[in-house]
Each structure stands twice: as C-alpha cells, then as structure tokens.
Amino acid sequence: MEPTSIKQKVDKQFISIIIIIWALDLLTKFWALDFLDVAKNPEYAYKGYDILGNFLRFRLTYNTGGVFGIFQGNAIVFHILTGVAILFLLFYYIKTPDFSRWFQISIAFIVGGALGNFTDRFFRPGVVDFIDMGIGTHRWPTYNIADSFITVGALVLALAFYLMEKKRQ
C-alpha cells in the first residue's frame, strides 16, 4: 500500500471548508464592526443589540488576550501561538496516515476558525467578538463565529480520536 501524498490528503473539500469558515467569520465581523459601531448606534454601547431578549444579544468587544479573554493585553503572544497552532494542525493533518472524514472536518473547522482570529490579531487591535449569551448577569464570555467553529472542531476531533482508537482495538 502506497503512502498518501500531500496532494491526496489536502483535497478540495478540506480547503473549501477552511475558506468558507474563514470567509463567514470575516464577513460576520465586518458586519458586527459596522452594525454595532457605537458611533453609528450609541444605544448599543453598553447593553448591545438584543436578539432573544437577555439570553442572546450582539455586543461588540475586542479580545486582546487568549480564549475567554484570559491574559488580556498579550496579543502578540497569542498571535504567535495561533500561527504555530495553524501550522501544527496542518502538519499533523498531512502526516496522519489513516484519517476519517470526521478527523478531516474537525481539523478544517479548527484551522478555518483559527485563521479568522489570526487575521483579526494581524489587522485589528484584537479579536472581534460580538455574540453575548447568558441569563441576567451570568454571561458566557463574548465570542465570534471562529470561536464556535474552533469549539465544535475540537469536540469533533475528540470524537474522531475516540473512534480511531476504538477501531484500532
């Protein structure tokens, strides 16, 4: 059995998923920057724009730190870490000999989302976050579309690893 070449591993579907997620994330951030701009819509300055009452609203913030806003003010560190993570995931994906479709999709989700946040860190003062969920004062950290795909991708990747391990046994 011949080893899989890089060209065979990185197929059109894999690249398409990454590009679609990256574009979707960037487009929603452009929308958020325009629609939630406090100068244009001062009424959104503090509370944001309610979608489902207090449970779901859009509120523009910039994250200059890491996941869930930890280590604020360390954008350069997270810029480097994000770039290294993208390269690592692509390298790992290419070097993994036997992968499932779930594995492929999970890596594409994570890389697509990471590219969205990486782009923000490069061109903006921080990552644009605008999805605010919670009940009353109990709020989940504000996030974006990229964060959603990274989270779903990580969960699917864990499932893919579980299924690959189960198949090996």
What are the structure tokens assigned to 146, written together? Answer: 């990229």
Where is mean pLDDT largest: 46-60, 94-108, 121-135? 121-135
* Residue ranges of domains in the chain: 7-168
- Which residues are within 8 A (CB) of 78 and not within 5 positions of it... i.e. 6 or more apart? 65, 66, 71, 121
Of 22-36, 96-110, 136-150, give the lowest mean pLDDT range. 96-110
How confident is residue 85, by pLDDT bands cut at 50, 70 and 90? very high
Summarised one tens digit per residue, pLDDT across range 67-82 is 766 777 777 888 889 9
How many angstroms separate the most distant Cα atoms in the chain?
64
How confident is residue 41, by pLDDT bands cut at 50, 70 and 90? confident
Span 149-166, average pLDDT = 90
Active site residues: 129, 147
Summarised one tens digit per residue, pLDDT across range 95-123 is 877 677 888 899 999 999 999 999 998 88
Alpha carbons 20 and 77: distance in angstroms, whole number: 27
Instruction: Report whether pLDDT(84) > 60.
Output: yes
Instruction: Report whether pLDDT(53) > 80.
Output: yes
How confident is residue 1, by pLDDT bands cut at 50, 70 and 90? very low
CA 74 to centroid of chain Cα atoms: 18
Alpha carbons 60 and 130: distance in angstroms, whole number: 5
Give the phi and the psi of residue 61 in degrees, each rounded to 5. -140, 165
What are the structure tokens assigned to 99, written together? Answer: 């992968």
pTM of the predicted protein model: 0.86
CA 59 to centroid of chain Cα atoms: 18
Does residue 68 come out as left (phi exceeding 0), alpha (psi in the -120 to 50 range) or beta?
left
Span 138-151, average pLDDT = 93
Please name which of 113, 125, 107, 104 lies closest in space to residue 82, comparing C-alpha atoms.
113
How confident is residue 9, by pLDDT bands cut at 50, 70 and 90? low
